[in-house]
Amino acid sequence: MSQLIAPSILAADFSELGKASQMIDRSQADWFHIDVMDGVFVPNISFGMPVIKSIRHLSDKVFDVHLMIVNPDRYIKDFKAAGADVLTVHYEACTHLHRSIQAIKAEGMKAGVALNPHTPVNVLQEIIQDIDLVCLMSVNPGFGGQSFIENTLDKVRSLKHLIKVKNSKALIEIDGGVSSANAMELIECGANVLVAGSFVFKSENPEATIEELKSIAYSSPSK
């Protein structure tokens, strides 16, 4: 498959969120990545359903919503109504992960599971066949602009092996510290979706930066 680029609007200027969304829509980006934080599961608060709903009409591209919240099951229907296409919950936040995954799929969304940097990929071996996407956090969740954790490369390789052994169709997404400096290596290790926040929105020309990442994705061998 062709690797996907998903700019994270968490890094955008919130006072111009509409303009940022329109830029992503006209760019070569494949998905919108939308981080939802509650100030409990992670030490920061971002935005929720009203903001997602307010920008949903600006694009037909996939809305990849990443829930960094406690008790995510309470809000699954609400995020579907707001416009989420992919809904990712954290392994560390779900007491009954299989039930959470099934509830997401019952609403017609793709189901993702995120792993914090300290969580090994083997915790997913009994459920990997039910997951559409695994989001590997390559920084500690909660804030943008952090440095990439190099051990993530080994985790990508391990996860890719688990997916192959279990005959899963899950995509591997990398979230945190992604840039043109590590994009190729991540893809070569097995990553399918690259989330880029600060690297895109802190650049002089975010649209051109997305194009740069997409060109790297196109030039890399498909895994």
Mind telling me the catalytic residues?
Answer: 35, 175
Q: Are 191 and 173 in contact (CB under 8 A)?
A: yes
With 0-12 / 13-18 / 19 or more C-beta atoms within 10 angstroms meaning exposed / middle / buried, residue 170 is buried
87 closest CA partner among 62, 54, 70, 60: 62
Q: Identity (one letter) of the amino acid at 86?
A: V
The Cα 205–Cα 223 span in angstroms is: 29
Q: Are 150 and 134 in contact (CB under 8 A)?
A: no
85 closest CA partner among 111, 106, 103: 111
